[in-house]
Each structure stands twice: as structure tokens, then as C-alpha cells.
Amino acid sequence: MNTKMVGILFAAANETKLNELTIHRTTASLPFAGRYRLIDFALSSLVNSGVTRIGIITRNNYSSLMDHIRMGRDWDLNRKNGGISVFPPFVLNTSREVYKGKIEALYTVLDYLKKAPEDYVCMANCNVAANIKVDDILDEHIKRDADITILCHKASVNSSKRVLITKNDDGLVTDLSASEIPSDKEHLVSLNIYIAKKDFLIAKVEQSYARGYVEFEKDILFKEVENGKIYAHELEGHAAIIDDVKTYYNESMKVLDMSVREELFGSLRKIYTKVKDSVPTMYMNDAKVKNSLIADGCVINGTVENSILFRSVRIEEGAVVRNSIIMENGIVMRGGKISYTITDKQVVIGAGRQISGSETYPIVIVKNKIV
Amino acid sequence: MRVKKECVAMLLAGGQGTRLGALTQKIAKPAVPFGGKYRIIDFTLSNTINSGIDTIGILTQYQPFDLNQYIGNGQPWDLDRLEGGAFVLPPYQKAKSGEWYKGTANAIYQNIDFVDRYDADYVLILSGDHIYKMDYSKMLEAHIAKGAACTIAVLNVPISEASRFGIMNAKEDGEIYEFEEKPKHPKSTKASMGIYIFTWAKLKEYLIADEADKNSHNDFGKNIIPNMLGAGEKMYTYDFKGYWKDVGTISSLWEANMDLLDSGSGLDLDDPDWKIYARNMAEPPHYVGDNAIIRNSVVTEGCEIDGEVVNSVIFRGAVVERGTVIHDSIIMPDAVIRAGAKIEHSIVGWSATVSEGAKIGKKQAQADAGEWKIAVVAPESTIKAGSVVDAGEMVGEEGK
């Protein structure tokens, strides 16, 4: 374990493409895999890597995030030294202006970074669900004397903007480019998780901010490639980038695969989340459940197949749920049938109602809706 | 002087629980898992904080390590308070002497200073081995209103079972005139639940006198209560209505778990106004496979289920492989049930492994003279492939 690194998490990323799912929340607090919020993966990975000082930079709709994080106790981050700090999105105390890009966002927390005794920074977007041994990657970063290490994995590009990486056998980045053209071909794609030398990062942010630059990737990272100290680390384990409804659905369904669950949850490096003290799930006499992930607190008396039920969901007699995701406190009443549907928190599907989306275009039902 | 606490709770958690056999070889009875994600002690701890009492001494003696670790700083029960909170109180060496807790009363006697430190007016004595939900604040109100020296919570039991309990014979207004421990011919059906509220100044007098009596068992039921009654103290019953079960035996522990599956049993844990808290183990949701059949059962986080589970309680992190049959059984945390095993009317201890094709226990239509013949597999033991464990048999940690 080391305490050489401070964490900076960007709570907001690509909200616009998650549409209905982020009307009421920031990406970081998007529910995932039955009982988690996306930020739990980044927080837990850092905590399990010995990082005890983590700043979270918010952007919009962050009340759900504040409610989730509280004092950070559920991640063992209620500490006298370090712990969790949540930063509001305003550039300056005197202005109401929200930061534009990551450079401005980092500029708002420069004092925090300077005061932190750690020599390295791990900064990450919260839209990645992975259980990452960041401490191992830091060791590699130090050994290489890198300025920045980019965490990446092999993936095909969807319509969201991704940074594509070309590296040599030593991991040295030789070229970076941005792409948002969907393709089936696999590339080495950035996870938008970086390890950087703290002093290097602070200096670059100060210089770039003074010149009015806003985008970290374009204005710092791309330019630094020629200096030859930007490295890439390719993750071997499972990593899910979630940036639109389709990837949210697909990546959720992958968790039904045992090997993916094993990678996310199988080690002693646990994924922590807010404790809610739900009771265990009750299966009634007419429950028929196959290939599904079920959180605590549910009461099931219907059919559930290839689906994910979050905490305290009720499936009544004769209801059928297939290939769907039902978030916390959802109810499918007697005889209701849904397939390829994502219901947000507290959605009620009335008796006998039928809703079906398709695998390529799952239907999203917004929070608190009664159908 | 600390901040004054009107009422301090003292939880007797030192009992070995010998009747639970293999389950309490390494941990104290209050630490035994219950109901999928709980420990037995969670019920009294949750009742205490839900009743507005935030200072609780937990008296441990037998195998305290696991229980100490579980309780920690009391945070899962909101008992990590600036003033008060949860305190584990093992016996300790004093200036002149040091000794084990000789009995329930002696355990409180040895911690008189703890109660005094909070300047408590009343002390609530609890046991760590009962499953129930109870608002102690109402009992305290009744105690204060009657100006009692002692109030004893009682439960109406069937007259046929009354001779198994300590029976309180009381007048209509609840004033106790006689206490009979396990009477052959019970005169009333008001059974003591082992929950007492004492006016602390009074109890202290009797504890000190009891300690001076060399012939005393230093026990609440055997000594303190009869002595107080004999001296004419004002003692009242407090009627409790609701689910309550002493889970001191394998059969009763099994029954109480089964009561979770029966909506008519009165044991409902899913009550937002009276949550039962437990230390959380950060497990993912449970996964149900393509071959699973789960009916009338409770399944907890972290499980992987691919077999047949009927009328059973599956605890956190248990693995049930394809082709297994589990009926009317309790599978405790992190147990692994391998393919083709058959388990009926059994308790499989935590982290035990039941190998392929093993047969544990036998189906029973009814209890025999009040006792079910529950097969028990010890925690952390291994049952070899094809082994047979009979109904009522208890397999120790050496496995079979």
C-alpha cells in the first residue's frame, strides 16, 4: 500500500448522451450492476490502492451524488487526514460560472492539489466501471519516470469522442488522436483515467489556464506526446466505459457473465457503496428467475429472466421481466410485462401493462413515472 | 462527569451457547449468523438505538474476538456517538482482584462504574440471544410511570409451554407477587423474556448485597429478582405483544429462520420504521443461474445460485451449484454446496463445503416433541463427496 497519490474524480462526463438517465443525476451517481453507483468503482479502486485523499469535482445535478457520498464513510474515507472533498463546479468564488473543460476544473482545485502531501495524482472520469489496481500502475509510472500514464483498453469506438492511442512496446505513447466515428475495429482506447506527476500537472494547468486553454486532452496531453514522457498502460481486466444508453444497457448485461462478475467483484479488493440496510430478497412461490442479478430487499413472485433488479424491487404475481434493468424501488404489478426496458428509480409498471424495447434500442422510463 | 444518560443498556453477551454445539465452538452465541445477513445480536442492538437509547455496554466473556470485531465502534447501528455509543466490556483486572463474570448479576456488578459514569437513572438489561423487535422506550415510560424498582418484560405463552420459562405471577395492574423458575404447575402464562429495567440506585444496592453473599449464584433470575421480591420492592410486568424467540437451541434457531419465510409468523424485518441493522460486507447483488429454481426462500447479496432452493434461507456469499437440492434448510455465509448435493432440514455453517453428491439431513413433516431433528454441518468444515449426514446429526469441524 502507498499513500503517494491523491485522487481527483470528475463527476460529470458526457451527460448529454445518457439522456433520460442523467436528467436527475450526474454520471457519477448513475446506478449500475444492481446496487452500485458508477463512482463506487473509481472510489473503491483508489481506496483499495491505498489512496486516502480524494477530491470530487462536480458539475451539475450533484445533489444525488452528495447524498450518496455523505462523509465518505462507506469507502473508509471519513478521515482526519485526507478523506473526501467535494468541490462545487464554479471557476472562481466571485463568479457563478461553471468550469468549461478539465483544465478550468483542475484550476479550481489547484490549492487542494498543492497542499496535498502526495507526489502523484490519479484523475479519472466516473463513467468507467472497473476494478483497477491503481497502485500497481503507479509503480510502473514511477519506474518509467513518466509525466503522465494513460490507462487504456482495447475497444471499438462508438459515437462518443474517444482518444485513440498508438504506443511502442515499452508503453511509450507515440501518437494520440480523437475519434467519434463508430467502428467495429478494435483500437487502443483511453479510459480517461490518468496518473500524473503532481508538480508536472500543476505547472501545465497553470500555463494552459493562463493562455485560455480549456481541454486537458487536446491542449495538454496531445501536445506533450512529442516530449516523450507520456506512457500508456493497457488494462488486462474488464473495463466498461458508459457514455450512452446503449453502452449502459450492454455493459449492464455483461455483468450477468460470470467472468465479468469475477473481475469486478471476485477479489479481496471489494467495491464499496452506500450501505442501505435492506433486508435479503424474498422469493415467493410463483417466482421463476433465470440468469439474473438481484440485489437485496426485492420481493419476487413473477418471472425474471436475463435482467438486473436493483434494491427493493417488487415483481408481482404473473409479471414477466425479460432482458431489462429495474432500478431501486421499481414495481412491476400483476401481469405487467416488460422487455428490453430500463426503468429508473421508483417506476411503477401497472397491472397488465406491456412495454418492449429492442436489444439495439432499449426503452428508458424516467424516474418516478407510473405507467 | 460525562453527559448524563437517562437510561443505559447492558447486553449480556457472554454465554457460550453450548446447546448450539458446533455453531458456537469458535464464536459466542450472539455472533451466530441469522436471517441471511444478520447476527443474532443485531436485533437487540437495533432495538436499542431505535428506542432512542444510545449507550450500551456489551458484556462479553466467551470467545469474544469475533464479536468484538463485529461490533467495532458500533457504527453500523449508529452507535458511534461522541458521548456514549457501544462499548464491549470484557472482564478485566482491577487493582485488588480480577475475575471472570461469575453470573449475569456479577457481570453488571463488575461494571457498576461504567453505568455510574453516565449518571444513569435506569438500566436496561438485555440478552444477546433473542430474535424480536421491541421499543424499549415504551417499557421505560411504564417503569417510570409506576415508580417501579424493576420492570420485567413478559410474553404470554401457551400454558402447555409455560413450564419451560420463568413465570411471573402478577396482580391485574401488573405488580409481581411471585416468580417461579420453570414451574411444574404454572399459575400464569406470563413468561419472562429476560429483559429488565431497573432503577439503577436500587439495583446497585442489590448487586452489592448479592456480591457479599458467598452462596449466591450471582444470577438475575436465581438471586436478584427473588431477593428484590422478598424485600417487597415494587416490581411490575410489562406486556410485550409481537414476535419473540429465544434461539438458544439448534431447533429454535432453525425455526426462527423459517419464520422469515412465513408471512403469518409475525417476524417481518422489512419495516422502514424499525430497521434491523447489520455490519455490511460489501458484496455484489446475488446471481441466479439458468438452472436455478428458487421458491419461498430468502437469498442474500453475494450468493451464486444455480440449484433448487425451496423453503430455505441462503446467507450472504453462499454458492449453490447446479443440480443441488436444498429444502427447508439454512445455508450460512460463504458456504459452498457442490453439484448434486441434497440438503434437507439442515443448517450448514459458514464457510463450510458440502461436496458433490453428499446427502445432509432428512425431510420431516413435523417436530418431534417440540424439537426438529436438524442436521448441522460445522462452520469451515468439509463434507466429502457422497457422504451422508443423518437427521439430527452434528458434524464437527473435522468434517465427514
* pLDDT, tens digit, 9 for 90 and up, residues B302-322: 999 999 999 999 999 999 999
The set of residues, in sequence order, having a beta carbon less than 8 Å from that of B27 and lying 6+ positions away, is B63, B66, B67
Nearest to A56 by CA among A104, A122, A106, A11: A11
C-alpha cell at B380: 469451515
ipTM of this complex prediction, to 2 decimal places: 0.92
Q: Are residues A30 and A90 in the same domain?
A: yes
The residue of chain A with its CA nearest to that of B260 is: A282
Asked if B285 and A296 come within 8 Å (Cβ–Cβ), the reply is: yes
In this prediction, residues B196-220 reach a mean pLDDT of 96
CA distance B87 to B106: 18
CA distance A122 to A211: 24
Q: Which residues of A touch B (CB under 8 A)?
A: 33-35, 73-74, 256, 258, 261, 264-265, 270-273, 275, 277, 279-297, 304, 308-310
Asked if A261 and B289 come within 8 Å (Cβ–Cβ), the reply is: no
Question: Per-residue confidence at A100, pLDDT binned at 50, 70, 90?
Answer: confident
Which of B269, B282, B284 is the closest to A261 by Cβ? B284
The residue of chain B with its CA nearest to that of A272 is: B282
Q: Are residues A193 and A226 in the same domain?
A: yes
Query: Which uninterrupted H or E stretch holds A325?
Result: strand A325-326
Domain ends where: A265, A291, A317?
A265
Supply the range of the domain harboring residue A312.
282-365
* Distance (Å) of CA B309 to CA A96, A339, B342: 58, 26, 10
A49 has which bridge partners? none
Domain ends where: A220, A237, A265?
A265
Q: Could you give the 3-state DSSP secondary structure of residue B1? A: coil
| Residue at A26 is within a domain | yes
Tell me how many degrees the CA angle B13-B14-B15 measures, rounded to the nearest 5: 100
| Residue at A112 is within a domain | yes
Do B187 and B238 meet the contact criterion of CB atoms below 8 Å apart? no
- Chain A residues in contact with B277 by the CB 8 A cut-off are 277
CA distance A149 to A137: 8
| Residue at A116 is within a domain | yes
In this prediction, residues A75-97 reach a mean pLDDT of 79
Nearest to A323 by CA among A309, A305, A335, A310: A305
pLDDT at A195: 98
Query: Dihedral (C-alpha) A140, A141, A146, A150: value to the nearest 10 degrees?
Result: 110
pLDDT at B160: 87
Nearest to B335 by CA among B268, B267, B279, B383: B383
CATH number at residue A346: 2.160.10.10
Residue whose cell numbers read 490519479 = A122
CA distance A360 to A77: 39
Q: Which of A265, A275, A283, A321 to mutate to test the interface with B (most CBs of B within 10 A)?
A: A283
Q: Are residues A69 and A151 in the same domain?
A: yes
Q: Are residues A88 and A204 in the same domain?
A: yes
pLDDT at A14: 53
pLDDT at B157: 92
When the pLDDT of each residue in chain B is averaged and rounded to a whole number, the result is 94
| Residue at A139 is within a domain | yes
Question: Per-residue confidence at B250, pLDDT binned at 50, 70, 90?
Answer: very high
Residue A73 C-alpha, separation from nearest chain B C-alpha, in angstroms? 10
| Residue at A196 is within a domain | yes
pLDDT at A1: 45
Q: How far does Cα B62 stand from its chain's mean position? A: 15
A84 has which bridge partners? A54
CA distance B194 to B183: 16
Domain ends where: A209, A239, A265?
A265
pLDDT tens-digit profile of B187-205? Answer: 999 999 999 999 999 999 9
Q: Which residues of B touch A (CB under 8 A)?
A: 35-37, 75-76, 261, 269-270, 275-278, 280, 282-290, 292-301, 304, 309, 313
Q: Are residues A258 and A286 in the same domain?
A: no
Q: Are residues A208 and A303 in the same domain?
A: no
pLDDT at B2: 64
Which of A34, A74, A289 is the closest to B292 by Cβ? A289
Do B391 and B375 meet the contact criterion of CB atoms below 8 Å apart? yes
Q: Report chain A's C-alpha Rg in angstroms.
A: 21
Q: Which amino acid is at A56?
A: I
pLDDT tens-digit profile of B133-145? Answer: 999 999 999 999 9
Q: Does residue B112 register a pLDDT over 60?
A: yes
Query: Which uninterrupted H or E stretch holds A274?
Result: none
Q: Are residues A172 and A304 in the same domain?
A: no
| Residue at A243 is within a domain | yes
CATH number at residue A259: 3.90.550.10
Q: Are residues A223 and A318 in the same domain?
A: no
Residue B270 C-alpha, separation from nearest chain A C-alpha, in angstroms? 6
Q: Are residues A24 and A93 in the same domain?
A: yes
- Chain A residues in contact with B292 by the CB 8 A cut-off are 289-290
Residue B280 C-alpha, separation from nearest chain A C-alpha, in angstroms? 7
Q: Are residues A300 and A259 in the same domain?
A: no
User: Whole-structure pTM over 0.80, yes or no?
Assistant: yes
Q: Are residues A256 and A307 in the same domain?
A: no
Question: Per-residue confidence at B91, pLDDT binned at 50, 70, 90?
Answer: confident
pLDDT tens-digit profile of B145-183? Answer: 999 999 999 999 999 889 888 999 999 999 999 999 889
User: Strand order in B342-344's β-sheet?
Assistant: B293-295, B308-310, B325-327, B342-344, B359-360, B388-389
Residue whose cell numbers read 452506500 = A274
Count: domains in chain A: 2
| Residue at A274 is within a domain | no
| Residue at A370 is within a domain | no
Q: Are residues A260 and A287 in the same domain?
A: no
